[in-house]
Amino acid sequence: MTDWETEISDSGEDAVIRGTPLEEVMDMEFADSIWLLLSGEEPSEEESEMFNTILSSSVDHGLGNPSTVSARTVQSGGNDMNTSVAAGVLALGDKHGGAIEDCMKMLQNGRTAEQIVEEYLDEGKTISGIGHKVYSGEDPRAQKIFGKAEELGISGEAVDKMKEIQEVFVKEKVELVINVDGAIAAVMSDLGWDYRLGKGLFIIARTPGLVAHVREEMDEEDFRREDGEYTGE
Amino acid sequence: MTDWETEISDSGEDAVIRGTPLEEVMDMEFADSIWLLLSGEEPSEEESEMFNTILSSSVDHGLGNPSTVSARTVQSGGNDMNTSVAAGVLALGDKHGGAIEDCMKMLQNGRTAEQIVEEYLDEGKTISGIGHKVYSGEDPRAQKIFGKAEELGISGEAVDKMKEIQEVFVKEKVELVINVDGAIAAVMSDLGWDYRLGKGLFIIARTPGLVAHVREEMDEEDFRREDGEYTGE
Amino acid sequence: MTDWETEISDSGEDAVIRGTPLEEVMDMEFADSIWLLLSGEEPSEEESEMFNTILSSSVDHGLGNPSTVSARTVQSGGNDMNTSVAAGVLALGDKHGGAIEDCMKMLQNGRTAEQIVEEYLDEGKTISGIGHKVYSGEDPRAQKIFGKAEELGISGEAVDKMKEIQEVFVKEKVELVINVDGAIAAVMSDLGWDYRLGKGLFIIARTPGLVAHVREEMDEEDFRREDGEYTGE
Amino acid sequence: MTDWETEISDSGEDAVIRGTPLEEVMDMEFADSIWLLLSGEEPSEEESEMFNTILSSSVDHGLGNPSTVSARTVQSGGNDMNTSVAAGVLALGDKHGGAIEDCMKMLQNGRTAEQIVEEYLDEGKTISGIGHKVYSGEDPRAQKIFGKAEELGISGEAVDKMKEIQEVFVKEKVELVINVDGAIAAVMSDLGWDYRLGKGLFIIARTPGLVAHVREEMDEEDFRREDGEYTGE
């Protein structure tokens, strides 16, 4: 048997979250409790407002994406809420919901904007956080996040570096905007979050959306199918 | 192929949550976005405060319970954040995290307190929401939730019925207190939530705790094992 | 901490499966090892042949069903083999792959064929194991399973009862054939399997199919999406 | 919507596995059906015997490992067979059950034994497939697999290279034996399996063990807990 120890929380009569009694946590906003739980400290008022914006920006995004399809499909197979939501969370792999963590990692790797762009171009990789299918001028959601970060005095090195990366990229390659993932990644970095929590924060933000979709699917009668075609001999 | 339709959200340029443009949702508190997403309407100030308390009360509860053990064990097998968090969500079955939904269902079934207690006693079942390992007088967290609900003008029929059920039970059987699950179930019922969202709301509240534990587990070197004993021939 | 004990297997130098040294198990056919692992005894030659037929009958069944869609969708989100296969297994709920267990439970509940049909008709439920979208005369796969069970001397009470149920149902209601799930459920019952292993045996049989689909999906470039429609206001 | 196509199988009346009608597949051994499903061809008699040995060698391995702990813990939270088995499959990440795929990848990377050992020593990595906690002379299960592969005329380049790698490693570093993962990886490579199926084959082999453990856990009354210690302030 291994030893199980944690610095996060205790249960029962002594229930605490990072040293704060659970009864005090119950007086906090949900987003602030999450911040405390993950960082060990309560957020300032500005950090709290920024964090609420980031979480709210990702609560849901239509039903076409892999996590929603997976959650609803599993529910339709005759499963409970927890099983179906978990199937949605599983879909949040490297290619879906992974751009924020990827971009945070890039911003936290200690290299200059020039080095980063050069490396990505050399390896033929796309840079997470820039590029958008629709917006060619500006991504209004990215601008909103940057605007609020500026206003709240949160913008710092990571936001600067993200903008530099985009500028270098435009010079070297092609005109692309910073998208909402890039803006979130930069601001979360300036808020002090380790990139290894990037995906986790996205999962926290998106779980409500998965719950909503599974609940809606419960009212559907049939199970989800695809009209696949067999192309073997 | 089945038709995929949703009343919850749209994506891309037209991104909305229940009709509200995503850019407006980004100005909402996270808990309010969740409320909008699940109910279709924005909460009042009182509803919002109550909802924050309920969500914050369940963010984490030590590392000994099945969902935390499962999430950390899967992480230790060499897995990513999404895979490990999902394994934790899977553990939230009927017996773990299910008391709130169970109790909401009981409170929403249209029977009187007397009928409910009689039925449970006849079938030898325990009543979700009453009974506590530690507290014999009062459960302070349950009291806190009831107090806030009273103060905010939210307490209604479900809270009354929950208290009645406990009183009938004490008279018929044995002195047991209303626990925090019972208080949450009653208040959530008075807030208008359908019991079929009970487990989902608990999953939303607890996912941050799972993320925190998986992140902590990433710093452990070895994988989790049990010293099981083989008792076959 | 709870005590962890098992009668199933031991590991390391003393590795055994149900008392048989792992090195001896390595000389057994895979299906026979599974039989030993789940029942505690080696199958007879006839049981082994029947069991191989049942497992092989369920290895895969096209890509349109929920478990395949879920596994491939999760893989397409950028996930590993284990995560994607697990998402497929999750989809195997009550409505998908559940007919065998359901039907076994019915055959093992100690009632007569008349009682069973009456109960199902009264409650307006469909009877698992009878009815087929395509075949109105006979389901050739069900017949193959019944034929082999007869030939191997395995057919017994459960097969008889399954046929009786179908006959009573035809008399009471409408002409429907026994389908392959019904045939498997009956034969597995006559082989002595507890219905609580019905779903588990289906999962064992279908996991190879999920692995095959996830491997095929790895060669697809894009992730899986649905063109869902937002029908909210 | 994406196009769903597959070369693996078709369903319904036209059910086939890789072009072979399902009714013919039903006459095959389970292991042979799996081989057909994954490779597109039926195995020779020798391939079939070897494949059965490899699958049977991994059906289960005690209850202490992460996948068993995870599956049983999730079951104990009040969940169905599919949900619990999936939680076990999730635990089969890079560090648990991943050695076979890792070692196959190494054997299939086109480098010489010297290059491989040098690279691993330079990077301070352990080589999957060599080293054993208990056996210092020979691992009897690895020997059994190599012996059978030799006898069946299956041993080829990959087995040779695995042995070379071990010899070079012993010369350069320290006396370590080839373990059962290394033997399986080498023989599976000589059987023509792509390393990207390594983990998948292990999942197929181990799923029966997970089903057995979940079924056993159903008879336990309490849910699984750990006596974790809170070490925060």
Bridge partners (DSSP) of residue C230 are: B6
Write the residue in D9, D203, D214 that is nearest to C62 by C-beta.
D9
Q: Residue A26: what residue type? A: M
Q: Are B223 and D91 in contact (CB under 8 A)?
A: no
Write the residue in B65, B77, B230 that is nearest to D92 by C-beta.
B77
Average pLDDT over all residues of chain C:
94
| B15 interfacial to chain C (CB closer than 8 Å) | no
Average the pLDDT over C29-51 and give the result: 98
**Token digits for A173?**
């390659």
The verdict on a CB contact (< 8 Å) between D29 and C26 is: no
Our answer to whether residue A132 is catalytic in this structure is yes
Confidence of residue C232 (pLDDT cuts 50, 70, 90): very high
| C108 interfacial to chain D (CB closer than 8 Å) | no
For residue D208, how many C-alpha atoms fall within 13 Å in the half-sphere facing its CB? 29
pLDDT score for D48: 98
Bridge partners (DSSP) of residue B129 are: none
Confidence of residue D1 (pLDDT cuts 50, 70, 90): very low
Q: Of residues B139, B181, B190, B213, which has the active-site annotation?
A: B181
The verdict on a CB contact (< 8 Å) between A225 and C77 is: no
| D157 interfacial to chain C (CB closer than 8 Å) | no
| D170 interfacial to chain C (CB closer than 8 Å) | no
Average pLDDT over all residues of chain B:
94
Kindly state the helix (H) or strand (E) to which residue D68 belongs, with its residue range: helix D66-76
In this prediction, the residues of chain A whose per-residue pLDDT falls under 50 are: 1
Exposure class string for A121-160: b at 16+ Cβ within 10 A, else e = eeeeeebbbbbbeebeeebebbbbbbebbeebebbeebbe
The verdict on a CB contact (< 8 Å) between B22 and A57 is: yes
Confidence of residue B2 (pLDDT cuts 50, 70, 90): low
| D15 interfacial to chain A (CB closer than 8 Å) | no
Residue in B closest to D75 by C-alpha: B91
Confidence of residue B1 (pLDDT cuts 50, 70, 90): very low
| DSSP strand pairing (A9-10 vs A5-6) | unpaired
Exposed / middle / buried, residue D101 (Cβ in 10 Å: 0-12, 13-18, 19+): buried
pLDDT score for C59: 97
Report the distance separating Cα D31 and Cα D35, nearest Å: 6
Report the distance separating Cα B157 and Cα B143, nearest Å: 17
Report the distance separating Cα B10 and Cα C227, nearest Å: 11
Average the pLDDT over B76-90 and give the result: 97
Average the pLDDT over C17-26 and give the result: 97
Q: Of B192, B162, B200, which is closest to residue B47 (Cα–Cα)? A: B192
User: Residues C101-129: pLDDT tens digits?
Assistant: 999 999 999 999 999 999 999 999 889 99
CA distances (Å), origin D17, targets B13, C63, C164, C209, D40: 43, 12, 33, 10, 8
Average the pLDDT over C121-139 and give the result: 85
The alpha-carbon gap from B89 to the nearest alpha carbon of chain D, in Å, equals 9
Bridge partners (DSSP) of residue D178 are: D130
Q: Residue D31: what residue type? A: A
Contacts of D95 in chain A (CB under 8 A): none
Our answer to whether residue B160 is catalytic in this structure is no
Q: Residue C56: what residue type? A: S
The verdict on a CB contact (< 8 Å) between A81 and B199 is: yes
pLDDT score for C23: 95
Average the pLDDT over B81-91 and give the result: 98
The alpha-carbon gap from A103 to the nearest alpha carbon of chain B, in Å, equals 16
Q: Of A215, A22, D138, D194, which is closest to residue C81 (Cα–Cα)? A: D194
**Token digits for C122?**
């009264």
Average the pLDDT over B83-102 and give the result: 95
Report the distance separating Cα C39 and Cα C123, nearest Å: 35
Reply yes or no on whether the pLDDT at D74 is more than 80: yes
Kindly state the helix (H) or strand (E) to which residue C85 belongs, with its residue range: helix C81-90
Handedness of CA C60, C65, C68, C71 (dihedral sign): negative
How do the residues of chain A divide into helix, strand and coil, expressed in percent and rounded to 5?
A: 55, 5, 40
How many residues appear in chain C? 233
Q: Of D172, D178, D51, D50, which is closest to residue D103 (Cα–Cα)? A: D178
Report the distance separating Cα D81 and Cα C10, nearest Å: 22
Q: Residue D156: what residue type? A: G
Q: Residue B142: what residue type? A: A
What secondary structure letter does DSSP report for C91? T
Reply yes or no on whether the pLDDT at B39 is more than 60: yes
**Token digits for C37?**
């692992």
pLDDT score for A228: 85
pLDDT score for D76: 96
Q: How many Cβ contacts (< 8 angstroms) between chains A and C?
A: 122
User: Residues B104-114: pLDDT tens digits?
Assistant: 999 999 999 99
pLDDT score for A223: 84
The alpha-carbon gap from C117 to the nearest alpha carbon of chain D, in Å, equals 27
Q: What is the DSSP string of A169-207?
A: HHHHT----B-HHHHHHHHHHHTT--GGGHHHHHHHHHH
Write the residue in C87, C94, C96 that is nearest to A70 by C-beta.
C87
Which of A59-63, A137-141, B4-8, B135-139 is predicted least confidently?
B135-139
Write the residue in D8, D65, D141 that is nearest to C60 by C-beta.
D8
pLDDT score for D2: 59
Report the distance separating Cα A166 and Cα A154, nearest Å: 20
How many CB atoms within 10 Å of residue C1?
A: 13
Average the pLDDT over C136-140 and give the result: 82
Exposed / middle / buried, residue C110 (Cβ in 10 Å: 0-12, 13-18, 19+): exposed
Average the pLDDT over C42-61 and give the result: 97
pLDDT score for A153: 98
pLDDT score for D136: 73
The verdict on a CB contact (< 8 Å) between A11 and B65 is: yes
| A78 interfacial to chain D (CB closer than 8 Å) | no
Report the distance separating Cα D32 and Cα C56, nearest Å: 9
Contacts of D205 in chain C (CB under 8 A): 30
Q: How many DSSP H helices and E strands does chain A contain?
A: 11, 5
The verdict on a CB contact (< 8 Å) between C93 and A78 is: yes
ipTM of the predicted assembly exceeds 0.90: yes
Q: Are C207 and C91 in contact (CB under 8 A)?
A: no
Bridge partners (DSSP) of residue B230 are: C6
pLDDT score for B134: 72
Exposure class string for B100-120: b at 16+ Cβ within 10 A, else e = bbbbbbbbbeeeebeebbeeb
User: Residues B155-205: pLDDT tens digits?
Assistant: 999 999 999 999 999 999 889 999 999 999 999 999 999 999 999 999 999
Reply yes or no on whether the pLDDT at D223 is more than 90: no
User: Residues D8-29: pLDDT tens digits?
Assistant: 999 988 899 999 999 999 999 9
Phi, psi of B123 (to 5 degrees): -90, 0
Bridge partners (DSSP) of residue B130 are: B178
Report the distance separating Cα D24 and Cα C53, nearest Å: 10
Bridge partners (DSSP) of residue D21 are: D16
Contacts of D90 in chain B (CB under 8 A): 74, 77, 79, 83-84, 86-87, 90
| D49 interfacial to chain A (CB closer than 8 Å) | no
Which of A120-129, C42-51, C157-166, D143-152 is predicted least confidently?
A120-129
